[in-house]
Each structure stands twice: as C-alpha cells, then as structure tokens.
C-alpha cells in the first residue's frame, strides 16, 4: 500500500482533489442568501398585524408556562378552536415558555409599552414576582364576570387571601395541581407490600426493596431549580416546619430524613424534575415521590399499560400529610389592551365545559367544582386520589423573594443530599441558609422585613 | 514620525465600522455589566453581590470551569495532533476520512449534547450497554463531580477537535521535510523526531489554537447545561442559574465579571508563555 | 510495515470516535421508542426501523417557524459579518503589524466576552428599541460571535494579495471604486464566501444569545432544547437530525475553504 512520505503540494490535504469548484461555491452562497431572504420576508409578512376586514378582530396572546407536549397539543387542537368558534372575531395565539422566562418577557413587554391583548397563565407562586413588581392589572372590578361561583374550597381560600393581603384580586385560579406518589404495582405485589403510609415505612420499604432487588427504588426531583425547591417545601411542611426559615425543628427533621432516604434514591435523581416518569415504566425506579398527575394521561396517550402503575396521596409526614398546591392562575398584564376579548377568554377558560376537559383530557384538577360531575370511570380513581390530597392542601405564600429562597434551598439540597455532607453538619448548614436569607432581606429590602422573616411571619397558607 | 504613518490612515478608516460595532455591542454592555455588579439594588457601591456568591459555592464553579477547560484543551490537542499527523500522509480513502474528521464541526452543540446524554446515562444508556456486553456492571457517569466533568470534556472535545486538527495540519504541512531527513540521519527515531523537529516548529500554531479554543472553552454553555444541568456548576451555568432565578440580576453579573476576569488571566498567561505572536 | 499498521489503527479508531455520536442519533431517530428511551440498556443496532418518530414530530409540533427563523437569522448574520469583515480585513491586511496586531487582539478579546455579560444589558436596550424577540435584533448580536472569525479570514485573504496589484491598477488609471470591484473582490471571493458560509454555520448553531434574547419566538436550536426539557426527547432528536443536514452538506462541500491558514488568520504565514 503505497504511502508517499510527503505530498509536496501544500494546498491539498484532501488527497489531490480540490473539493468543489469556485462557481459551485458561489451558487451555494447565492442559494442560501435567496432562501434566507425569502424566509425573512415570509416572517415579516406573517407577523404583521393583518388589517381587520370586520370590526374589532383581535388576536389575543395567551401565555402559558411550561406545558407538556400533550397539553400543548390539547390546547391547540381542541380547547382554543372551541373558543374561537364561539367568538369568531377573536383568534388566540398560544405562547409557551417557562415561568421565569415568562416573567422576563412580560416585564420586557410592559417596559416597552408593547403588551397588546395578552392573557397569562402562570404558576401560582411565580405570579408573586409580577404582582409585587406592579405588573398586573387589578381584576377586582371584573371578578364577578370572570370567577365562577363554584370554585373549589381551597381556591376560594386563595381568592379570599388575595383580597386580605393585597387589597384586591390580581389573579384568579385556573387549574390546580397537586402532587401524588406513583409506584410500580407489579413489583410491590411481587414483594408482598402495600404502598408506605408514613415516612418510617417509606424508609423501611425502600431498604427492603433495595436488598431484595438491588435496585435503588426512590425517585426524587433532584435536578435543582424550581422542581427541587418546590418538593423540599412540601417535605419540610409535612415534618411540621416552616420551610422559609430553613432551620426550625421541622425543617431539620425533614432534611435529616431525606439524608437517610437518599441512600435509596435512584442514581438518575440528579436529573429528576417535573418531566420525569419514564423510569417508572422501564424499571429504573419503583416509587416516584412525587410527581404531578399530568403524567397519567401522558402515559396513557403513549400506550403504556397504566394498570400496573399505582398512585396515591403518598406517605404521611411525622406532623401532617400536607400537600403543596401548585397549578396556575390567570392574570392580565398591566397595560393590556382589548379587555373585552381578554375577559371572554378568561371566562371561557374557567367555564364548566373547559374545566371539565382539563380533567378528562389532561387529568389536571379543575378549580371549578362543577367540572367534576359526570367523570368517566377510569379517571374517577385519579380524581379521588387528588381530592384526597386536596383535603390537606396548603399554598406557598407568594412573597416577592421566593426565588431567592429557592436558590438558597437548592444550595442546601446540593450540600446535604447531592454532596452528602456529614450528617452532624445538617443543622449548621441549615442555620447558614437561614442567615443567608436574612442577610439578603436586610440588604435588598429593609430591617423590618428581615425581622419579620426571622420571627416566622411568612408561613405556608392553609386552604 | 515614521514614513509609513500617513499612508496607513485610510486603512484605519476601513477598520472603523467593525470597531464601532464591537464597541457598542460588546464593550459597552460588558463594562455596563461589570459596573452594575458593584451596585446594590438601592444604588450604592457594594461588594455584597460578590460575598453572596461565596455562599453559593463560587469556588467550586471556578475550579470546575478551570478543570474542564484545561482538560478539554489537552484532549483536543492530543487528538488533533493524532488526526493531523494521519492527514499529512497519502492513503486510499483519505478524502473520506478527512471529511469524517471535519463533520463534528458542523454538528450543532445542542445536537451533540443530546447525543451524548443518550450515550452517558446514570443507569443504562449506550455506553453502559457496551460495558454490559463486556461483562461489567454499568457505571453511573454522574455519580461524582470528576466523572461528570469528564463526560463534559469528552463531549466537548468531540465537537471541537476538528478546529485543532485544521490549525495543526496547516502547521505540520509547513515543516520542511529536510529537517526530518537530517534528524533521521543523526539517528533519531520516530518519537525523538516528533519531539525535536515537529513540536518546536509547531509552537506558534499550537499557541494560536490554544488561545482561540481556550477562550471558547471557558465559555461553553449549551453543552454543560444539557449534560449536567447545574450540578456540578460551571461558571457559565452558574451565571445562567442566578440570572434566571434571582430577583436581582446583580448577583449573576458579579459571577459573570469573575468569568471575564478568569479569561483575561488565561489570555495573558498564554501570551506570556507562548511568546509574542 | 509498522508505519502502515499504526496509520490504519489510527484511522479506524478516529473514524469510530467521530461517527459514534451520529450513529446514536440515527438509532434514536429511527428505532421505535421501546428500543431507545424506554429501554434501560438500549440495543446498539437498528431494530424495526420506523419513520414514526419523524411523522409524529413534524405533524404535532411546529418545525417550520423555528426553521425559517433560524434560516433568516443565519443569512442576516452572514451578510452583516461579511459587510463588516471585508473592510476591516482589508484595512488590517494593509496595515503594518505594529498597528494591526493590537487591533486584532481587540477583535479577539470581543470573542471572549461571556454571553451573559453582553446579553443582559443588551436586552434592556433592545426592549427600548423594540428589537427584543426580533430577527433583526438577534442577528445583530449573533454577528458578535461570527465577526472575529470573519475578520481573521478576510485579513488573511487580503494580506495575501500583493499591494503591487493595486498600485499597478491605479497606475493604469483605474479609480478606487473600480479597483475594488474589478480586482480585489474577485480575487478575494473564495475568502469572502468562506467567511459568509462559516458565519452562517456558526449562527445556525448559536444558542446562548438566542435563548436569552429571543425566548418567545425561538430559533431551531432553542426549540430543540425546549423539546428536550419538556420531556419530549424523540421530537428533539428528530428535529436535530433535520436541522443538521444542511450543515453537514455545507461542511462537506466547503472543505476546501476550511483551511487552517484561514482559521489562524494568516497571522502565521
């Protein structure tokens, strides 16, 4: 096999052939420019507001945070067309982005005086950032036309809390979300155990499963960010603690317990977040503590045999079995135009018909109590579990510094669980977190807020 | 006044548009960002933002960034040398091979990251399938910080070795053959010829490749974001994390300033060690 | 001969190294889900290849808008980079090293500004100028990433054109403008095309600025990232493959222009 030692022609390291000729390259470049220009013109033309042939044709921008693919598809193919049929003059443009991105987008639009007809569906906690930044329209004058008279009780409490704490209604509940614990029925049956009813049993069962099967069975939302600190919040409440403080007895107990439980966390827990459920199907883990109920219909739509997946409100904590109510609220950004169209859309989203579909198609808890009538048999089981969980519902108080708390909570999780600090250091780490939060409030707000924080003034809200 | 000065002025005007663009879009925001990192939300000067960073384990982020950058550079340098050395020769199928070696440069970072998340998984995944068939139990690729960083280094090197290859190849092709003949006549074997003939002549090219790629290495963002998320933290994902969750953006600007400082040190080191040019 | 086997071992190993991730992508795109994401130890071969993943991805999710957006942004970026790079490269190519070198270092430094440091203040500016979430705004910023390389390439190209060519043309009575169009540009055309196409490719790939400055109407890499974070891995992979095809074609077709001399900016001759 002849290998010449060195090819004296400097410019040919491609072995003698020169690639393509210059003219071809020019043709390619021109082709790209033409395609790009066409695309650009196309985008420009399609995003220009169309002149309305009839009076008051409006395109409403509906912002929704972090929808799963099945949810997006349902909105686009079913829910929105239903609305547009009822109101032919209104078109709805669905914009999906993560909660924190949406906050930035809305703030950007308001500062640029560019809001237009916009309605937002946002996490019931992150809404606090927009609320305290004064970016929301006061909805009190419209509340009677939007709010259904049949809100479920925990949501009614939320609305009352709003009026008390903020002096008005700035957001209305749209859909509730409450986490459940999911487990692999087949494995549990084979091992002859029933799903754990309290923390002690959870630890015991996990240990046993690991010893018998060699699989670390527990999945936790440990990726970091909102998923993790939301989950930590619930665990701390169930131990009787005030999560904001980080270092009261309940909080310390919760972190110590999780430290012990983490010995049985599935290795992929460091990537766990609200989107994980596949591991339950492929045997990567056996108990998913916890996950939001949307996965039930997602799994069903993917053809998974859901009869081998069990779910229930989950093991009770040492103090209570409180369940964190997540979910989204509707709000209207300050400076939005075309109020009548927005109100129509809000009204529609909260109507019995729409809310009923939230349950039947997406498996999400509706806030309109009437929507729960006439549920199909397979869903009623899911609904029963959710209703059970709602009995012990609580809300996180939407303070403006919640994401700062979350970042610190994340740090605590990393130090204690992921990096496995020594068990004896847990109280010290938590106290440091408390100090960090205090300092932050002191320098970014004032000493009153910091003092109130330290005294436990900000607590979970019970429905 | 040097005789060439007056004739050079028109050429300076040509460079002006680019300088203005860069000034407005790069320097102005950067200085503004650095300046704001020293401000408190109430408007006064403060070092608070930096001290808060210490709580969030800034040290680990810095250390990890340095480790990943240097590790990846070393891998790319070695692999680049290997491929460039192969490409200096002529052999059948060389054109196909050289095309293959350059393809990763065209694959989007996001796409490469996705491929590598499927290869390296905590349990399962294609790498573990391979290990499994060899009879060993799978490795949890994210079980410790060094291992996670290694995954990032490997994935990043895959995408960026082609640039090293191209630059090093230009250098290799420029070495006159007579030097090798002379060295062979003096009795030097393959390895000795490599160390005493190849490497010294390649110094300039290696230095340039290291600077260009090194600076980009400190900045990698999409790849670690997708592969390892925010544990273990790199400075870029660290900044992004603070930017997207903290109500005040000043803390993330402080972290970004530190990243900028780190890169400046790296460039200065490189210029000093590599000699001017 | 020992040299031969060493060479062939190297070729085989490096080929495998470069091709494996692409092969994995193909597997995930064409294998049904139960052999990929739903399997703990996915088989490394094609089993029951299907087009289902692609069909699902393209019909259920919006591929066209991000694709068109990426295309228009990339083209604008290519044009901006060339528009700024040609004069800058020409000037730097003709200046003596003592002046050119510091300016080149300046350009190099801009390449190292972290995306966040630039993006945050710029986003507030853009909001004021109504450029947030717009094709034009994103193109302006992405040029920052591609400009240094474009300038490097143009500088290398122009400095290899001897000055005598210009002087001769001027002596022959040519006006400055026609010198540029009749002589300089045609000779520099390969470099110009290389700069345009490389800038196009880099913009096509760009993620950091796109995710911060155009989150609502994403370009394709950002859309792929969103798919992945929403748990929709198969769609992400399907989009990735389609997204990669133009770039592979470009890379292969343009090997001639991706030379080391261009990439090191003709600084080392």
Q: Where are the beta strands (DSSP E) in A229-371?
A: 287-291, 309-312, 323-324, 326-331
**Cβ-defined contact of B177 to A267 (cutoff 8 Å):** no
Give tens-digit pLDDT for A27-83. Answer: 777 777 877 777 777 777 666 555 444 446 788 889 988 677 677 878 888 999 999
CB A272 within 8 A of CB A220: yes
Provide, as residue numbers in chain C, all residues whose Cβ is less than 8 Å from the Cβ of B124.
39-42
Contact C127 A108 (CB under 8 A): yes
Residue C55 included in any domain: no
* Distance between first and last Cα of chain B: 25
pLDDT tens digits, one per residue of A191-235: 999 999 999 999 999 999 999 998 999 999 998 888 899 999 999
Domain positions in chain A are 58-177+326-374, 180-324+397-462
Q: C-chain residues within 8 Å CB-CB of A19?
A: 253-256
A180-324+397-462: CATH topology: D-Maltodextrin-Binding Protein; domain 2 (3.40.190)
Assigned domain for C153 exists: yes
Structure confidence by residue, pLDDT tens digits, A398-445: 888 888 898 899 999 999 999 899 999 999 999 999 999 998 898 888
Q: Which residues contact A44 (CB under 8 A, 6 or more apart)?
A: none
Mean of the per-residue pLDDT values of chain A:
84
Is C87 within 8 Å of chain B by CB?
Answer: yes
pTM of this prediction? 0.80
Residue C173 has a pLDDT of 67
Q: Which residues in chain C touch residue A112, judged by CB atoms under 8 angstroms apart?
A: 127-128, 130, 132
Q: Does C79 touch chain B (CB under 8 A)?
A: no
CB contact under 8 A, A20 and C39: no
Q: Which residue of C has its CA nearest to B8?
A: C95
Query: Where in the sequence is the domain holding C22, given as residue range(s)?
Result: 17-50
Q: Does C22 score more than 50 pLDDT?
A: yes
Six token digits for residue A220: 């936790």
- Final residue belonging to a domain, choices C28, C50, C72: C50
Q: Express each pLDDT in C158-176 by its tens digit.
A: 877 777 777 777 777 666 6
CA distances from A109 to A98, B149, C41, C97, C127 (A): 16, 39, 47, 48, 8
State which residue of chain C sits closest to B170, comparing Cα positions: C260
Same domain, C40 and C97: no
Q: The domain spanning residue C169 has which CATH number?
A: 1.10.3720.10
Measured CA to CA, the distance from residue B210 to residue A80 in angstroms comes to 54
Residue C124 lies in a domain: yes
Identity of the residue in B122, B230, B241 whose CB atom sits nearest the CB atom of A267: B122
**CATH number for the domain whose boundaries are A58-177+326-374:** 3.40.190.10
Same domain, C39 and C74: no
- Range name among A50-59, A358-367, A394-403, C78-87 with the lowest pLDDT average: A50-59
User: Closest-CA residue in chain C for A295?
Assistant: C231
Summarised one tens digit per residue, pLDDT across range B77-117 is: 999 988 988 888 888 888 888 888 888 888 888 899 999 98
d(CA A329, CA A123): 6
Work out whether the CA dihedral A226, A170, A393, A402 comes out positive or negative: positive
Residues in chain B, pLDDT under 50:
1-3, 276-277
Which chain B residue lies closest to C121 (C-alpha atoms)? Answer: B29
Residue of A6, A105, A449 for testing the chain B interface, max B β-carbons within 10 Å? A6
Instruction: Note whether C41 and C74 are same-domain residues.
Output: no
Residue A77 main-chain phi, psi, to 5 deg: -95, -20
Three-state secondary structure call for residue A386: helix
Instruction: Name chain C's partners: 3 or more CB pairs within 8 A.
Output: A, B
Q: Are residues C144 and C44 in the same domain?
A: no
More reliable by pLDDT, A73 or A347: A347
Of B18, B101, B239, the CB nearest to C147: B18
Query: Mind listing the pLDDT tens digit for each residue in A23-40?
Result: 666 777 777 787 777 777
In this structure, the answer to whether residues C72 and C138 fall within a common structural domain is yes
Out of A333-337, A459-463, C138-142, which region has the weakest mean confidence (pLDDT)? Answer: A459-463
CA A292 to the chain's CA centroid: 9
Structural domains in chain C (count): 2
Least reliable range by pLDDT among A138-152, A365-379, C120-134: C120-134
Q: Which residues of B touch A17 (CB under 8 A)?
A: 95
pLDDT tens digits, B33-54: 888 888 877 777 888 888 888 8
Classify A283 in phi/psi space as left (phi over 0), alpha (psi -120 to 50) or beta.
left
d(CA A37, CA A40) in angstroms, rounded, equals 5
The yes-or-no verdict on residue C265 having pLDDT over 70 is no
Return d(Cα B81, Cα A75) in angstroms, integer. Answer: 54
In a domain, C173, yes or no: yes
CA distance B190 to chain C (A): 10
**Per-residue pLDDT, C59:** 77
Q: Please say if the pLDDT value at position C267 is more than 70.
A: no
What pLDDT was estimated at residue A11? 33
Q: Which pLDDT score, from 0 to 100, does residue A137 have?
A: 93
pLDDT band for position A355 (50/70/90)?
A: very high
What ipTM does the predicted assembly reach? 0.81
Instruction: Give chain A positions within 8 Å (CB) of C231.
Output: 68-69, 275-277
C1 → chain A, closest CA residue: A1
Q: Is the pLDDT of residue A97 over 90?
A: no
Which domains, ranges and CATH numbers included, belong to chain B? 52-274 (1.10.3720.10)
Same domain, C106 and C229: yes
The pLDDT, as a whole number, for residue A113 is 81
Residue C3 lies in a domain: no
């Amino acid at each position: 096999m002849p290998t010449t030692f060195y090819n004296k022609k400097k410019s040919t390291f491609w072995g003698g052939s020169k690639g393509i000729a210059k003219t071809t390259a020019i043709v390619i470049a021109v082709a790209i420019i033409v395609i790009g220009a066409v695309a650009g013109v196309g985008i420009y033309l399609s995003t220009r507001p169309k002149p309305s042939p009839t009076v008051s044709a409006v395109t409403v921008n509906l912002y929704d945070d972090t929808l799963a693919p099945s949810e997006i598809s349902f909105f686009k193919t079913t829910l929105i067309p239903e609305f547009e049929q009822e109101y032919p003059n209104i078109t709805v443009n669905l914009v999906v982005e993560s909660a924190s991105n949406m906050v930035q987008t809305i703030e950007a639009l308001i500062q640029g005086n560019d809001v237009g007809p916009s309605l937002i569906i946002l996490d019931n906690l992150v809404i606090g950032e927009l609320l305290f930044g004064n970016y929301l329209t006061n909805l009190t004058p419209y509340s009677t036309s939007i709010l259904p008279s049949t809100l479920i009780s925990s949501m009614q409490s939320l609305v009352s809390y709003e009026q008390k704490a903020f002096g008005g209604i700035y957001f209305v509940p749209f859909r509730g979300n409450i986490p459940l614990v999911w487990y692999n029925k087949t494995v549990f049956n084979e091992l002859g155990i029933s799903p754990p009813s309290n923390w002690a049993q959870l630890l015991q069962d996990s240990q046993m499963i690991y010893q018998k099967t060699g699989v670390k069975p527990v999945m936790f939302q440990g990726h970091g960010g909102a998923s993790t600190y939301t989950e930590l919040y619930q665990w701390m409440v169930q131990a009787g603690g005030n999560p904001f403080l980080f270092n009261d007895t309940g909080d310390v107990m919760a972190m110590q317990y999780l430290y012990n439980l983490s010995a049985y966390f599935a290795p992929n827990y460091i990537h766990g977040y609200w989107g994980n459920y596949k591991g339950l199907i492929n045997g990567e883990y056996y108990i998913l503590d916890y996950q939001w109920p949307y996965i039930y219909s997602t799994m069903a739509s993917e053809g998974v045999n859901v009869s081998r997946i069990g779910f229930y409100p989950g093991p009770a904590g040492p103090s209570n079995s409180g369940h964190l109510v997540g979910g989204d609220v509707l709000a209207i950004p300050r400076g939005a135009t075309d109020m009548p169209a927005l109100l129509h859309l809000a009204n529609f989203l909260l109507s019995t018909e729409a809310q009923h579909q939230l349950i039947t198609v997406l498996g999400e808890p509706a806030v309109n109590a009437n929507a729960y009538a006439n549920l199909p048999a397979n869903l009623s089981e899911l609904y029963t579990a959710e209703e059970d969980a709602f009995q012990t519902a609580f809300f996180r108080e939407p303070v403006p510094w919640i994401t700062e708390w979350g970042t610190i909570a994340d740090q605590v999780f990393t130090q204690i669980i992921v990096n496995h600090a020594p068990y004896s250091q847990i109280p010290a780490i938590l106290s440091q977190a408390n100090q960090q939060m205090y300092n932050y409030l002191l320098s970014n707000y004032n000493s009153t807020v910091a003092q109130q924080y330290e005294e436990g003034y900000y607590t979970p809200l019970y429905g | 006044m040097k005789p060439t000065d007056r004739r050079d002025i028109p050429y300076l005007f040509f460079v002006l548009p680019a300088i203005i663009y860069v000034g407005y879009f790069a320097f102005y925001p950067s200085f503004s960002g650095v300046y704001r990192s020293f401000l408190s939300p109430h408007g006064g000067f403060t070092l608070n933002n930096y001290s808060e960073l210490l709580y969030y384990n800034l040290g680990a982020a810095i250390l990890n960034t340095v480790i990943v950058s240097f590790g990846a550079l070393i891998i790319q340098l070695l692999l680049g040398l290997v491929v460039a050395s192969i490409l200096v020769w002529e052999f059948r199928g060389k054109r196909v091979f050289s095309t293959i070696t350059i393809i990763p440069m065209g694959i989007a970072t996001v796409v490469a990251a996705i491929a590598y998340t499927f290869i390296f998984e905590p349990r399962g995944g294609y790498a573990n399938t391979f290990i499994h068939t060899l009879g060993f139990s799978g490795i949890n690729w994210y079980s410790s910080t060094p291992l996670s960083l290694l995954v990032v280094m490997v994935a990043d090197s895959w995408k960026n070795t082609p640039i090293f290859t191209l630059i090093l190849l230009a250098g290799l092709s420029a070495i006159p053959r007579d030097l090798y003949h002379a060295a062979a006549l003096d009795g030097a074997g393959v390895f000795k010829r490599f160390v005493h003939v190849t490497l010294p002549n390649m110094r300039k090219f290696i230095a340039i490749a290291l600077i260009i790629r090194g600076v980009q290495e400190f900045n990698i963002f999409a790849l670690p974001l997708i592969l390892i998320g925010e544990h273990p933290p790199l400075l870029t994902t660290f900044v992004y994390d603070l930017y997207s969750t903290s109500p005040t953006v000043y803390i993330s600007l402080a972290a970004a300033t530190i990243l900028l400082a780190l890169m400046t040190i790296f460039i200065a080191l490189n210029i000093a060690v590599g000699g001017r040019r | 001969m020992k040299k031969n086997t060493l060479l062939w071992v190297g070729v085989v190993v490096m080929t495998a190294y470069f091709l494996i991730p692409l092969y994995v992508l193909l597997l995930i795109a064409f294998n049904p889900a139960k052999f990929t994401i739903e399997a703990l130890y996915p088989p490394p071969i094609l089993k029951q290849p299907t087009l289902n993943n692609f069909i699902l991805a393209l019909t259920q999710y919006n591929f066209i808008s991000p694709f068109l957006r990426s295309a228009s942004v990339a083209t604008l970026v290519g044009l901006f980079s060339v528009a700024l790079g040609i004069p800058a490269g020409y000037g730097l190519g003709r200046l003596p090293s003592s002046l050119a070198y510091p300016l080149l270092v300046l350009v190099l430094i801009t390449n190292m500004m972290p995306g966040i440091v630039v993006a945050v203040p710029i986003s507030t500016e853009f909001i004021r100028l109504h450029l947030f979430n717009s094709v034009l705004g994103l193109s302006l910023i992405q040029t920052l990433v591609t400009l240094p390389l474009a300038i490097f390439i143009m500088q290398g190209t122009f400095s290899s054109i001897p000055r005598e060519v210009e002087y001769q043309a001027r002596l022959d009575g040519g006006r400055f403008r026609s010198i540029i169009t009749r002589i300089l540009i045609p000779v520099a055309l390969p470099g110009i095309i290389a700069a345009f196409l490389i800038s196009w490719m880099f913009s096509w790939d760009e993620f950091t600025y796109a995710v911060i400055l155009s989150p609502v109407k994403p370009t394709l890499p950002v859309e792929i990232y969103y798919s992945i974070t929403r748990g929709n891995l198969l769609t992400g992979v399907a989009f990735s493959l389609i997204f990669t095809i133009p770039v592979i074609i470009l890379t292969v077709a343009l090997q001639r222009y991706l030379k080391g001399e261009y990439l090191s900016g003709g600084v080392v001759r």
